[in-house]
Amino acid sequence: MQVPLLVNDFLHRAVRLYPDKIAVVDGEQRYSYDAFGQRVNRLANALAQLGIRKGDRVGIVSPNSHFFLESFYGTSLLGAILVPINYRLKPAEHEYILEHAGVQVLLADWEHTGELDALRPQLPGVTHWIAARDEGDGDGKGEGKDHTPDGWQDWNELIQQASTAAPDTPEIDENDAVSINYTSGTTARPKGVMLTHRNCYLNAYNMIAHASLRHDDVELWTLPMFHCNGWGGVYALTAMGGTHVVLRAIDGRRIFELIERERVTFACMAPAVLRTILDFPNKNSSGNEEFRIETRPRFMVAGAPPPAAFIERLEQELGFEFIQIYGLTETAPILTVSQPDHYTDVEDWNRRSHAGVAAIGVEVRVLDDSDQPVPKDGESVGEICARSNVIFAGYWEQPEQTEAAIRNGWFHTGDLAVWDETQSIHIVDRKKDVIISGGENVSSSEIEDVLYQHPAVLECAVIGVPSEKWGETPKALVVLRSGNVPGQDEIIAHCRERMAHFKCPSSVEFVDSLPRTATGKLQKFRLRDKYWKGSERKIG
Amino acid sequence: MQVPLLVNDFLHRAVRLYPDKIAVVDGEQRYSYDAFGQRVNRLANALAQLGIRKGDRVGIVSPNSHFFLESFYGTSLLGAILVPINYRLKPAEHEYILEHAGVQVLLADWEHTGELDALRPQLPGVTHWIAARDEGDGDGKGEGKDHTPDGWQDWNELIQQASTAAPDTPEIDENDAVSINYTSGTTARPKGVMLTHRNCYLNAYNMIAHASLRHDDVELWTLPMFHCNGWGGVYALTAMGGTHVVLRAIDGRRIFELIERERVTFACMAPAVLRTILDFPNKNSSGNEEFRIETRPRFMVAGAPPPAAFIERLEQELGFEFIQIYGLTETAPILTVSQPDHYTDVEDWNRRSHAGVAAIGVEVRVLDDSDQPVPKDGESVGEICARSNVIFAGYWEQPEQTEAAIRNGWFHTGDLAVWDETQSIHIVDRKKDVIISGGENVSSSEIEDVLYQHPAVLECAVIGVPSEKWGETPKALVVLRSGNVPGQDEIIAHCRERMAHFKCPSSVEFVDSLPRTATGKLQKFRLRDKYWKGSERKIG
């Protein structure tokens, strides 16, 4: 028997089997799976009444919320396509995405209605504007919270008028798109990544398999849901009937409070969030502890390889468990997983920070420019390429970009890495971030790892800047811990003690902060712009 | 990107990522994944040389062995179809299956070559007879072990001449059959259940998800591999790069030895095997313990609901973990899972013995004769029906039987059950085993549960026998614990104290043993025959 693999299965299972169990905790709101399922049905029925049909696009601009979770299933039940949009983008970027994706109905968090209103004249295709807003949960601020602004339909009022009955679901193929996730724009204009039901279904199984997700798991949403559908957690955790604990914004105290109170067992995050957590005081299980944490949460990290010291601190100081994964929006996202295994000791923090090995059903190779595997020697750099059912169906209305990314049967990630005989992959840089200095490929992440070993370095980024002599040379941009004032020479000397001279930064600049995407990816192109104005950067 | 879901992925992943890790322990033999993968490649290349092509059938008659494990992948790499056959069947049954499936190459364990030789005249289609035999592993007995008999090719010699290179794999569709598993014949002539790659792939994911299979799991093969490909363990454990520990025959001491020595963490078994394990002396962690077991194995049980007392003893006395599943060969097999969850307390042994709730991607309903759901009241009996990607492609060359089983879009299991508001399913009987006495449906398993509460009852089976007055009346067949000699009246009184009179057996017969299939299913039709000769049994 063949039944389409639809992410709707996951919701149906949880609602059928665990109606009384808490599905979502969001501030003061607590929804059981039954209540959650009813809200999803109402949303789907309301969207259908607004004219949304199979294949139509519904956009959402929102931080994490129960509304956001509902929007995934409220659209997928109709065979419609959700376009989850990073709320931190600039208005021009919102406009671009909403227009490019052909969004008909726009869902927006109350805090973002104002900035979106300004786009109305340019977005005649958006026929319905719906604002998500709960009353009386005590964490509201700003006027958008008090009332639904003019020109917006109130989400709760809208769905209140719709039926809780299961919506009419059309015939959906497992290869139909379920979401279009715009890439975060590290290097270029956002592209719309079409993820299919099958992509997301199998990625959810891999998340369950490799993070050992269980029925009694409680996920704290430290990760923005717009980021590749929460790496699939929206689907995977629901499939197991686990509980979603929403976190609207990153806040160390709030995170520890929720871990304690909701007995959190699982969370996904970028390294920057992990740092926030590690830097929060009074969290240790010894000393003057403020929180009694009785669970042993598993933290799944991706977005960048974290410093090895972060992993050691998480596991040794906090007693939590660390899992590194690697993937892209285009890969639904999980490609590789790094956990203690046959070749990886628990305390091999450095190895555990690497991208790791292929997940089930994923074939990963590190290829040279002729799509031939580079030697598995831990040194030869190539591009990570993958072949799998988790790889996206293509870029929305950008077939040439799709052909450029998927060629010779392999998806080309644009990430540069080495691999070793155990097939373990270690990312050395974004393809476009490699610094080629005097003909040598220099990995900026390697330099950053060394910089992080300096006690004064809070954050850092290494970029290539123009050099008369070498063509390009590494420059370090460093955010210092407060109270620390080492000079440039001290930092460079620190590097020279630990690395070949040609790899060391030739200059250091101290900055207040580094530009990051909402998901914590460094936007190196923004750092570089300043130095390369008027020059043409030579790459590879 | 769409890539066919092929079980071959699981082997490829383990061989690529964990070449040095032990894949299989079988007596004195220990094969790394690299060595295992090489033996699989050699087997596939050898089979190709013998003319096996995509879609051809290769049979295997063998108890558990490393050869058996190899045969799964040695055939699937070629797109060929494995026919794993219960070695305990009678020669006429072997002949029927081998002929019906059109087996061209027959693989057989050394201990079974003699009985298969007798079938040669009737099986002209079997062109190659290959005997599996290791030398010098010390557990051999019987002449088949000493040398490969005439007319048989020696497995090890055959593959020694074949290449270790990956075989030429044809294009395989995920909906192509990977195995034909003949049903165990509880009620009728064996039927060939065609399982596809997709069936087995998704079942493997469900086994991983619901048994939380991990990379460091070590599975003891208490379950015959021929039984629905070890419930999918052949695939699921390999996908995670776990270790298979082969058990050739059930033996309490050997089981505890292997659990201790190999640090076993997982095993699948029928309730009869669980009883053997529970009845083995000197196993407890208190008192004069003989074994130092440092793992906490998860035992996955199916085939029949075990007495609740077994679960309690397993978890309380031994400290192991119990998981009940339910399924059929036709469902790859996992349909439902029973574990502690939101509605099931750890110590609710009775509920935990039930079939439980639907696995991911499985829709299960309990339907009446018009395919309408029976009330979820824990009392109304209906037939378990399912809709899922784990449901088989059909019976081999029996399209009418397939149509009878899959109708109105639902696979009809033939198992009768009740369900409750939490969707938890409890099997009350095989459809054909319901006793209809005076117009009342009587569940024989309910009576058996009561009988097991009597301290003298070691095993029992309740069947319907002809009755002038009631049409049919329950009869208990009981195997006593040694040393116990209660009379029929005492047993009946025990039942009457605990059940409505109409449900109680009207007669008890003490027997030495009960007929079971190799996988522990009671063959009630064999018990009934004696009483129904000359009568026509009236069923529902």
Is residue B536 predicted with pLDDT exceeding 80?
Answer: no
Q: Which of A156-160, A285-289, B444-448, B519-523 has the highest mean pLDDT?
A: A156-160
Per-residue pLDDT reduced to its tens digit, A145-181: 778 889 999 999 999 999 999 999 899 999 999 999 9
How far from chain centre, in Å, is Cα A193?
14
Work out the mean pLDDT of chain A and round it to a whole number: 90
Per-residue pLDDT reduced to its tens digit, A327-359: 999 999 999 999 999 999 999 999 999 999 999
Is residue B424 predicted with pLDDT exceeding 70?
Answer: yes
Domain that holds residue B476: 434-532
Q: Could you tell me the two tokens for B47?
A: 């089979």
For B121-242, strand residue ranges (E) read 128-132, 153-154, 177-182, 192-196, 218-221
Q: Partners of A82 in the beta sheet? A: A58, A179
What pLDDT shows up at residue A144? 52
Residues of A in contact with B356 (CB under 8 A): none
Alpha helices by DSSP H, listed for A399-441, are 399-405
Question: Between residues B133 and B437, which one has the greater pLDDT?
Answer: B133
Question: Between residues B104 and B435, which one has the greater pLDDT?
Answer: B104
| Confidence at A68, pLDDT banded by 50, 70, 90 | very high
Least confident of A430-439, B6-15, B57-66, B413-422: A430-439
Is residue A177 situated within a structural domain? yes
Q: Could you tell me the two tokens for A33?
A: 């799976």
What pLDDT shows up at residue B290? 83
Alpha-carbon span A410 to B276, nearest angstrom = 52
Is residue A500 predicted with pLDDT exceeding 80?
Answer: no
How large is the C-alpha radius of gyration of chain B?
23
What pLDDT shows up at residue B539? 33
What pLDDT shows up at residue A440? 66
From A411, A430, A449, the end of a domain falls on A430
- B378 and B438 together in one domain: no
| Confidence at A43, pLDDT banded by 50, 70, 90 | very high
Is residue B401 situated within a structural domain? no
Query: Is the CB of residue B285 less than 8 Å away from at least one CB of chain A?
Result: no
Is residue A231 situated within a structural domain? no
Is residue B485 predicted with pLDDT exceeding 50?
Answer: yes
What CATH number did the domain enclosing B173 receive? 3.40.50.980
Nearest CA among A498, A500, A257, A210 for reference residue B239: A210
Reduce the DSSP state of residue A185 to 3 states and report it: coil
Residues of B in contact with A341 (CB under 8 A): 18, 215-216, 241
Alpha-carbon span B69 to B247, nearest angstrom = 12
Alpha-carbon span A82 to A180, nearest angstrom = 6
Alpha-carbon span B400 to B395, nearest angstrom = 9
Helices and strands counted in chain A (H then E)? 17, 27
Alpha-carbon span B367 to B60, nearest angstrom = 37
- A423 and A479 together in one domain: no
Q: Partners of A4 in the beta sheet? A: none
Is residue B123 predicted with pLDDT exceeding 90?
Answer: yes
CA-to-CA dists, residue A78 to A161, B351, B407, angstroms:
18, 37, 27
What pLDDT shows up at residue B535? 57
| Confidence at B190, pLDDT banded by 50, 70, 90 | confident
Helices and strands counted in chain B (H then E)? 17, 27
Query: Using an 8 Å Cβ cutoff, are A326 and A425 in contact?
Result: yes
Per-residue pLDDT reduced to its tens digit, A105-126: 999 999 999 999 999 999 999 9
| Confidence at B530, pLDDT banded by 50, 70, 90 | confident
Compute, in degrees rounded to 10, the torsion defined by CA atoms A447, A450, A454, A456: 30
Is residue A286 predicted with pLDDT exceeding 60?
Answer: no
Query: Using an 8 Å Cβ cutoff, are B22 and B243 in contact?
Result: yes
Per-residue pLDDT, averaged over B463-467, amounts to 87
pLDDT above 70: percentage of residues in chain A: 91
Alpha helices by DSSP H, listed for B6-65, are 8-17, 33-49
- B442 and B383 together in one domain: no
Look at the alpha carbons of A441, A444, A449, A451 in this order and tell me if their dihedral is positive or negative. positive
What pLDDT shows up at residue B138? 45
Query: Using an 8 Å Cβ cutoff, are B230 and B221 in contact?
Result: yes
A-chain residue closest to B243, CA distance? A342
Query: Is the CB of residue B20 less than 8 Å away from at least one CB of chain A?
Result: yes
Per-residue pLDDT reduced to its tens digit, B215-271: 999 999 999 999 999 999 999 999 999 999 999 999 999 999 999 999 999 999 988
User: In what order do the strands lie in the sheet containing B29-32?
Assistant: B29-32, B22-26, B243-246, B218-221, B266-269, B298-301, B321-327, B334-338, B357-358
Query: Is the CB of residue A403 less than 8 Å away from at least one CB of chain B?
Result: no
What's the residue count for chain A? 540
pLDDT above 90: percentage of residues in chain A: 72
Query: Is the CB of residue A361 less than 8 Å away from at least one CB of chain B?
Result: yes
How many domains, chain B?
3
Is residue B528 predicted with pLDDT exceeding 70?
Answer: yes
What pLDDT shows up at residue A503? 82
What CATH number did the domain enclosing B365 receive? 3.40.50.12780
Interface touch B1/A387, C-beta < 8 Å: yes
Is residue A334 situated within a structural domain? yes
Q: Can you give the three-state secondary structure of B473-524, one letter per residue?
A: EEEEEEEECCCCCCCHHHHHHHHHCCCCHHHCCCEEEECCCCCECCCCCECH
Residue listed under structure tokens 């969207």: A47
What pLDDT shows up at residue A450? 87
Per-residue pLDDT, averaged over A244-264, amounts to 96
- B426 and B472 together in one domain: no
C-alpha triplet B175, A75, A213: angle, nearest 5°? 60
Helix axes A33-49, A8-17, angle to 10 degrees: 140
Work out the mean pLDDT of chain B and round it to a whole number: 90
CA-to-CA dists, residue A372 to A263, A328, A331, angstroms:
47, 22, 21
Per-residue pLDDT reduced to its tens digit, B286-336: 445 789 999 999 999 997 778 899 999 999 999 999 999 999 999 999 999
Instruction: Please list, in sequence order, all residues whose beta carbon lies within 8 angstroms of the beta carbon of residue A299, skipping any fewer than 6 positions away.
Output: A267, A268, A269, A274, A314, A320, A321, A322, A323
- A291 and A279 together in one domain: yes
Nearest CA among B60, B59, B100, B56 for reference residue B80: B56
Is residue A494 predicted with pLDDT exceeding 70?
Answer: yes
Per-residue pLDDT, averaged over A369-398, amounts to 95
What pLDDT shows up at residue B534? 60
| Among B360, B363, B365, B406, the residue to mutate for chain A (most A Cβ within 10 A) | B360
Is residue A133 predicted with pLDDT exceeding 80?
Answer: yes
Alpha-carbon span B44 to B278, nearest angstrom = 40
Residues of B in contact with A198 (CB under 8 A): 2
AA identity, residue B132: A
Query: Using an 8 Å Cβ cutoff, are B2 and A198 in contact?
Result: yes
What pLDDT shows up at residue B524? 80
String of DSSP letters for B62-118: -SS-HHHHHHHHHHHTTT-EEEEE-TTS-HHHHHHHHHHHTEEEEEEEGGGHHHHHT
Query: Using an 8 Å Cβ cutoff, are A454 and A448 in contact?
Result: no
What pLDDT shows up at residue A119? 96
From B161, B196, B231, the end of a domain falls on B196
How large is the C-alpha radius of gyration of chain A?
23
Helix axes B66-76, B8-17, angle to 10 degrees: 110
In this structure, what DSSP letter does residue B190 have? -
Instruction: Please list, in sequence order, all residues whose beta carbon lies within 8 angstroms of the beta carbon of residue B309, skipping any fewer than 6 positions away.
Output: B349, B452, B453
- B490 and B423 together in one domain: no
**How many Cα atoms occupy the beta-carbon half-sphere of B44 within 13 Å?**
27
What pLDDT shows up at residue B142? 46
Is residue A48 situated within a structural domain? yes
What pLDDT shows up at residue A467? 81
Alpha helices by DSSP H, listed for A118-172, are 155-160
The CA distance from B373 to the nearest CA of chain A, in Å, is: 14
What does the buried/exposed string (b/e) look like for B181-198 if buried means 16 or more CB atoms within 10 Å of the residue's CB? bbbbbbeeebbbbbbbbb
Is residue A138 predicted with pLDDT exceeding 50?
Answer: no
Query: Using an 8 Å Cβ cutoff, are A452 and A479 in contact?
Result: no
Is residue B106 predicted with pLDDT exceeding 60?
Answer: yes
What pLDDT shows up at residue B447? 87
What CATH number did the domain enclosing B512 receive? 3.30.300.30
The CA distance from A29 to the nearest CA of chain B, in Å, is: 20
- A416 and A460 together in one domain: no
Per-residue pLDDT, averaged over B161-167, amounts to 97
- A307 and A348 together in one domain: yes
Interface touch A341/B241, C-beta < 8 Å: yes
Q: Could you tell me the two tokens for B472?
A: 């049919």
| Confidence at B433, pLDDT banded by 50, 70, 90 | low
What pLDDT shows up at residue B443? 75
What pLDDT shows up at residue B271? 84
String of DSSP letters for A320-387: -EEEEEEE-GGGSSEEEEE-SBTTB-TT-HHHHTS-BEEPTTEEEEEE-TTSPBPPSSS---EEEEEE
Q: Partners of A478 in the beta sheet? A: A460, A510
Alpha-carbon span B178 to B169, nearest angstrom = 13
Query: Using an 8 Å Cβ cutoff, are B126 and B134 in contact?
Result: no
What pLDDT shows up at residue A157? 97
From B430, B454, B485, the end of a domain falls on B430
Is residue A320 predicted with pLDDT exceeding 70?
Answer: yes
A-chain residue closest to B406, CA distance? A1
- B130 and B142 together in one domain: yes
- A172 and A287 together in one domain: no
Q: Could you tell me the two tokens for B13?
A: 């992943």
Nearest CA among A357, A350, A252 for reference residue A305: A350
Residue listed under structure tokens 């990630």: A413
Question: Between residues B459 and B264, which one has the greater pLDDT?
Answer: B264
Q: Could you tell me the two tokens for B42?
A: 């050699």
Is residue A239 situated within a structural domain? no
Nearest CA among A77, A68, A62, A64 for reference residue A6: A77
Residues of B in contact with A239 (CB under 8 A): 209, 360
Is residue B127 situated within a structural domain? yes
Residues of A in contact with B413 (CB under 8 A): none
What does the buried/exposed string (b/e) look like for A170-208 if buried means 16 or more CB atoms within 10 Å of the residue's CB? eebebebbbbbbbbbbbeeebbbbbbbbbbbbbbbbbbb
B-chain residue closest to A240, CA distance? B360
What pLDDT shows up at residue A156? 97
- B342 and B470 together in one domain: no
What is the ipTM for the molecules in this complex?
0.85
What pLDDT shows up at residue B515? 84
Question: Which of A215, A341, A392 minimises the CB distance to B341?
Answer: A215
- A109 and A81 together in one domain: yes
A-chain residue closest to B201, CA distance? A361
| Confidence at B347, pLDDT banded by 50, 70, 90 | very high
B192-196 and B103-109 as β-strands: parallel, antiparallel, unpaired? unpaired
Is residue B399 situated within a structural domain? no
